[in-house]
């Protein structure tokens, strides 16, 4: 093909005519080894106000993903049109190869391939250019992958073992592929303890299933134990992600390990206990299990004297895989000391940036009695007739030592104010100091909710460890198909492990000092649920817990800080139970302090400050409206009003500009909610970005009519253009750009689309020209406004 002809080809044409044929010629199988247009990550969701949109400009999209096996990607190819150089897309390909931990990346403009190979010997060029016919074969790129990941010949069979694949079912996300492959490769190399750190909502259980499936199918693990500390975690796993194991799987119950099954799911409480007779794990030999997976392993399994550790020690020759969202690293306990460094980490921040996890907005609320403190007058007695100690009480005392009933009422009313202004049926979790506080908050929400609670007694429920009725409603609370309960008050029962993907509001009226607990709690809202229109969630903070977002340890690297002395046990001791407020993952006692609480009804409370913050581009919390966000995005694309007006008027289809801005997260319908629905797209954008006074669509249409612009057209054409102008006034510019508008009334009263286009305007080109002139008339004075 002549160079001049090749320059006219699109990127897609380059793929079809040059890159794909070159891959096939090098023996790449189009059905099993070549995937085109692969979305690795959809791009982050932007939240401002109550509006959300996805920033598609930041999505990770690979033109080609090459795999040795479906479970083993080995290279990325980025395609460009022939107007670019051969290596123009290589930097982008390297970014994607980096997140997939691949040694090879390529770029092509149809002339050949620019290659980046991280496995070449020292002194050899890392980047080279190859003719189209010399693209590496699958065997060659698999060889490079094995070198890069140090995979020996005796490890290949296990590493090549495929995933469980559902017919037209879900595919593992890129980070799940990495977590699975890094785990399997580590075990293939003989590593006996493996740690995976993945944020809540990223599919740890599905990832676990795929690891177990590959090891089981390869014969590396014949009997597997999946350990958890919550019944609901085991039951969810049994019927959801682990379902393909079918008849070889069982739940450990009736205090018996049944050797007839291969996959065992169990609560550690069902396997052990304080008495020797409770330790049913000893009913089988220490060699019985080949693989033990510990779910939520941060909850003490690494502590030497924990119940889990005795199970792990008994089955010491098995492979131990720990799964956690928050590796516990304190001077008292360390997952890393037990498991070693994580083989793979995927953080909350990464999940939000990729667009797999829901971003959050934070509403920070300060109450006067918390911030300013409160000192009782001399001789004051509480509601029970007890003398109140005369000292200053502050936020750390609230609901732990001092109960101000008016404060509880204020919190409940503020929560309901938000829900009533957005969606009163939004699933909400309110985290309280203890069970007593959770019950008082339930009562306060009932009173604040009014008819909502009167119409259904389960609108709000206390779901705590001591409440049989509340725990019975837990399954319904987390079920997206169930409307009730809507609001759950709790202490810690819902802080970990429970899949609450529809949760849209998390209320923190609890003192949180533990980063581990904080991550677990905010993780309750991190799942995106498109079916139920949940793209972000709100954190309402009354106790300054969200200040932990600014802590350097938030989303930081896990670091072991336990430093044993010469005579100390190398394994960190058990943590102080006070460290996590009564022990993580359980509900605190009604009276955790050991003292009688002070209950006072007659002291009022009020909100003294409130601010809303959002996740900024760097992951830090910022205060910014959707309007300000949109302004920055528009100006980044069009630096001046004149430039924007020029591009707008020059565009054949205004929808193209609107679509381009939407990729940056600027959604016109969201702006219309703030400014007004009667303004057109052009005026909305000019007003938001450049401060121009907006005209309504109707005002612009009237200006066109006053100029007698239609006089040069015949009667039928004038009627059509007048009707198009009215359509613009009612619905906007994009409506009149589509030819299908002629199939609607009043155009159908004038004639068929063909009769209108050919009869009234003399053909399609002249009709389109007339519409374009009409648009010019609508925006004629725009650059002077």
- Distance between CA atoms of 391 and 393, rounded to whole angstroms? 6
CA distance 352 to 533: 17
User: How many alpha carbons lie under 13 Å from residue 83 in its C-beta half-sphere?
Assistant: 6
Measured CA to CA in angstroms, residue 712 lies from 480, 483, 716, 750 at distances of 60, 61, 12, 19
d(CA 6, CA 110): 8
Residues 6+ apart with CB under 8 A from 615: 47, 352, 359, 360, 361, 621, 622
Pairing of the two strands 487-490 and 460-462 = parallel
Beta bridge partners of 107: 78, 114
User: What sign does the CA torsion over 5, 10, 16, 20 have?
Assistant: positive
Report the helix count and the strand count for the chain, using DSSP H and E: 32, 25
Q: Is 453 helix (H, G, I), strand (E, B) or coil?
A: helix
Can you give 228-256 as a three-state secondary structure string?
A: ECCHHHHHHHHHCCCHHHHHHEEECECCE
Question: Which residues of the chain register pLDDT less than 50?
Answer: 300-305, 328-334, 556-593, 783, 785
The CA-to-CA distance between both ends of the chain, in Å, stands at: 50
Q: What is the pLDDT of residues 105-120, one digit of tens each?
A: 999 999 999 999 999 9
Please list the alpha-helical segments (H only) found in 346-495. 348-354, 368-371, 405-421, 435-449, 451-455, 468-472, 474-478
What whole-number distance in Å separates Cα of residue 370 and Cα of residue 404?
11
Paired with 393 in beta bridges are 374
Exposure string (b/e) for 119-147, b if CB count within 10 Å is 16 or more? ebeeeeeeeeebebeebbebeebbebbbe
Dihedral sign of CA atoms 372, 376, 382, 386 in order:
positive
pTM as predicted:
0.77
Residue 506, H or E segment: strand 503-508
427: helix, strand or coil: strand
pLDDT digits (tens, 9 = 90+) for 627-643: 887 888 899 888 888 89
Q: Which residue in 291, 382, 300 sits closest to 600, CA to CA?
A: 382
Closest CA to 257 of 228, 285, 231, 220: 285
Tell me if 206 sits within 8 A of 176, measured CB to CB. Answer: yes
Helix (H) or strand (E) holding 23: helix 20-25
Instruction: Supply φ then ψ for residue 110, to 5 degrees.
Output: 95, -10
């Amino acid at each position: 093909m002549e160079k001049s002809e090749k320059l006219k080809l699109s990127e897609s044409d380059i793929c079809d005519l040059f890159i794909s044929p070159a891959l096939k010629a090098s023996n790449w199988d189009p059905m099993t080894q070549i995937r085109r247009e692969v979305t690795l990550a959809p791009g982050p969701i932007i939240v401002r106000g109550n509006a959300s949109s996805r920033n598609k400009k930041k999505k990770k999209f690979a033109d080609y993903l090459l795999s040795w096996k479906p479970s083993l990607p080995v290279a990325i190819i980025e395609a460009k049109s022939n107007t670019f150089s051969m290596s123009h897309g290589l930097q982008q390909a390297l970014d994607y190869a980096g997140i997939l931990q691949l040694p090879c990346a390529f770029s092509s403009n149809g002339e050949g391939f620019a290659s980046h190979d991280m496995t070449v010997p020292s002194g050899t060029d890392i980047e080279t250019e190859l003719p189209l016919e010399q693209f590496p074969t699958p065997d060659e790129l698999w060889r490079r992958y094995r070198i890069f990941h140090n995979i020996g010949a005796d490890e290949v069979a296990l590493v090549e073992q495929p995933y469980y694949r559902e017919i037209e079912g879900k595919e593992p996300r890129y980070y799940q592929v990495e977590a699975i492959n890094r785990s399997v490769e580590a075990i293939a190399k003989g590593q006996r303890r493996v740690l995976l750190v993945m944020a809540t909502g990223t599919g740890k259980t599905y990832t676990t299933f795929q690891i177990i499936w590959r090891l089981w199918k390869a014969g590396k693990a014949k009997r597997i134990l999946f350990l958890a500390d919550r019944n609901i975690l085991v039951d969810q796993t049994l019927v959801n992600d682990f379902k393909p194991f079918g008849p070889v799987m069982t739940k450990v119950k009736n205090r018996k390990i049944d050797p007839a099954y291969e996959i065992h799911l169990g609560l550690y409480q069902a396997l052990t206990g304080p008495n020797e007779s409770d330790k049913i794990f000893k009913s089988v030999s220490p060699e019985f299990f080949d693989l033990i997976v510990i779910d939520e392993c941060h909850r003490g399994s690494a502590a030497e004297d924990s119940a889990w550790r005795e199970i792990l020690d008994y089955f010491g020759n098995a492979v131990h895989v720990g799964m956690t969202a928050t590796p516990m690293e304190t001077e008292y306990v360390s997952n890393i000391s037990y498991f070693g460094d994580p083989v793979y980490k995927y953080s909350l921040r990464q999940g939000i940036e990729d667009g797999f996890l829901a971003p959050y907005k934070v509403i920070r609320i300060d109450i006067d009695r918390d911030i300013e403190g409160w000192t009782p007058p001399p001789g004051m007695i509480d509601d029970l007739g007890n003398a109140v100690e005369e000292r200053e009480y502050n936020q750390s005392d609230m609901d732990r030592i001092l109960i101000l009933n008016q404060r509880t009422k204020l919190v409940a009313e503020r929560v309901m104010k938000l829900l009533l202004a957005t969606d009163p049926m939004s699933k909400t979790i309110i985290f309280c100091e203890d069970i007593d506080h959770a019950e008082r908050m339930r009562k306060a929400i009932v009173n604040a909710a009014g008819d909502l609670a009167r119409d259904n007694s389960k609108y709000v429920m206390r779901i705590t460890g001591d409440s049989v009725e509340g725990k019975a409603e837990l399954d319904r609370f987390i079920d997206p198909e169930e409307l009730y309960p809507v609001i759950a008050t709790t202490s810690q029962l819902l802080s970990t492990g429970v899949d609450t993907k529809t949760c849209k509001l998390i209320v923190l009226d609890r003192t949180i000092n533990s980063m581990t607990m904080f991550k677990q709690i905010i993780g309750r809202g991190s799942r995106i649920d498109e079916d139920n229109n949940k793209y972000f969630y709100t954190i309402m903070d009354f106790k300054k817990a969200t200040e932990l977002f600014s802590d350097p340890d938030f989303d930081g690297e896990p670091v072991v800080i336990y430093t044993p002395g010469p005579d100390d046990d190398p394994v960190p001791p058990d943590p102080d139970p006070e460290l996590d407020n009564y022990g993580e993952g359980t509900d605190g006692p009604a009276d955790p302090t050991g003292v009688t609480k002070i209950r006072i009804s007659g002291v009022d409370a009020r909100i003294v400050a409130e601010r809303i913050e959002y996740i900024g581009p760097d992951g830090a919390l910022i205060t910014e409206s959707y309007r300000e966000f949109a302004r920055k995005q528009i100006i980044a694309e069009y630096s001046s009003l004149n430039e924007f007006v020029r591009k707008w008027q020059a565009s054949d289809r205004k929808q193209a500009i609107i679509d381009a801005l939407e990729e940056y997260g600027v959604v016109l319908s969201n702006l219309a909610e703030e400014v007004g629905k009667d303004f057109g797209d052009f005026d909305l954008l000019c007003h938001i970005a450049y401060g121009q006074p907006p005209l309504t669509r109707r005002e612009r249409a009237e200006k066109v009519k006053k100029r007698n612009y239609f006089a040069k057209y015949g009667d039928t054409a004038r009627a059509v253009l007048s009707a198009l102008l009215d359509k613009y006034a009612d619905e906007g510019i994009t409506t009149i750009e589509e030819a299908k508008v002629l199939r609607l009334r009043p155009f159908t009263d004038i004639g068929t689309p063909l009769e209108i286009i050919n009869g009234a305007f003399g053909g399609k080109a002249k009709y389109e020209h007339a519409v374009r002139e009409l648009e010019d008339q609508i925006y004629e004075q725009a650059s002077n406004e």
